[in-house]
Amino acid sequence: MAEGCDFYGAPILSDDGNYVAWVSWSLPHMPWQRSQLHLAQVAANGRLEAFERWDFGAALSQPQFDPHNVLICMSDHAGWWQPWQVSLATPLCLSSAPVDHITTPWQLGERQHAWRDNRQVYCQLHQGAAQLYRRSNEQVAALLPTPGRVVSITLARHGDYAIVQSATSGAQLIRFTDNYPHRCLAGNVVDHLAGSLVAKNSAIAQWLEAPLATKAKQFTVFSIQPQPTTLRR
């Protein structure tokens, strides 16, 4: 389907299955040093066509689609890992806040930002610890009681889900809704009296169904102070 580079990673399909994006890199560079972003249309027979490629002279990571097939990725070419809308004639930075919005891609498979019409969930790192934020209806809220590590984010109709870790907990699967700001579905927490990890009840598997939008949305700029600086949508 694609060849010519030494390594490939971070493949992502659009919600409607019509587009696929991925990242590639070649030696001597590592994916956190310099990489390229690719986009292709998926034909009816499964082959790829209408290829596009972006190279900012730095690293790109974690491509994601919004419900309208807008391609957004993280790039550090401006000095910080910031979200960029790249499916434009001129790429647009969606948050110019001088902080990293993902961790450096030492490993593959992390998903630390997600985009829907009515909300966006994303990270910002402060002094090495990640806080998770959700912007909805022009309001921004911090979601984690204790900053730490965010591994993956998934948005669904019945709530937003994340796998997180912190100094006070092992890996946890947590759920955020309007009624329950933070609910642990599975994982470990630290028992401070015993000084050990205590397992929570296992979660019942659920099918995560992401909502699809039906109409296009214009980008506007929102600015809420103090931190976190909001994303532009």
Instruction: Give the pLDDT confidence score for residue 227 in this predicted structure.
Output: 45
Dist. CA 9–CA 25, nearest whole Å: 9
> Do 3 and 91 sit in the same domain of this protein?
yes
User: What mean pLDDT comes out for the span 145-170?
Assistant: 90
Query: Rounded to whole angstroms, how far apart are CA atoms 42 and 133?
Result: 32
Co-location of 91 and 1 in the same domain: yes
- For the residues 180-207, what does the mean pLDDT come to? 55
**Residue 228 in this model has a pLDDT that exceeds 70:** no
Range of the domain at 27: 1-95
The answer to the question of residue 188 being in a domain is yes
Amino acid at 132: L
Give me the residue label for tokens 């019509």: 18
How many structural domains does the chain have?
2
pLDDT at 206 over 50: no
82 and 117 together in one domain: no
Q: What is the pLDDT of residue 230?
A: 54
The pTM (predicted TM-score) of the whole model is: 0.77
Res 231: pLDDT: 61
Q: What is the pLDDT of residue 213?
A: 39
Contact 163, 151 (CB under 8 A): yes
Give the residue with greater pLDDT, 195 vs 63: 63
Residue 121 lies in a domain: yes
Whether the predicted pLDDT of 29 surpasses 80: yes
Angle at 150 between CA 98 and CA 62, to 5 degrees: 70
| Residue 39 within a domain | yes
- Find where tokens 């006070």 sit: 168
Strands in the chain per DSSP E: 7-13, 19-25, 36-42, 48-54, 60-65, 71-75, 82-85, 92-93, 113-115, 119-126, 129-136, 139-142, 148-156, 159-166, 169-176, 183-191, 196-199
Any domain includes 77: yes
What pLDDT does residue 190 have?
57
Q: Is residue 11 part of a domain?
A: yes
Residues 8 and 90 in one domain: yes
Check: CB of residue 122 under 8 Å from CB of residue 113: yes
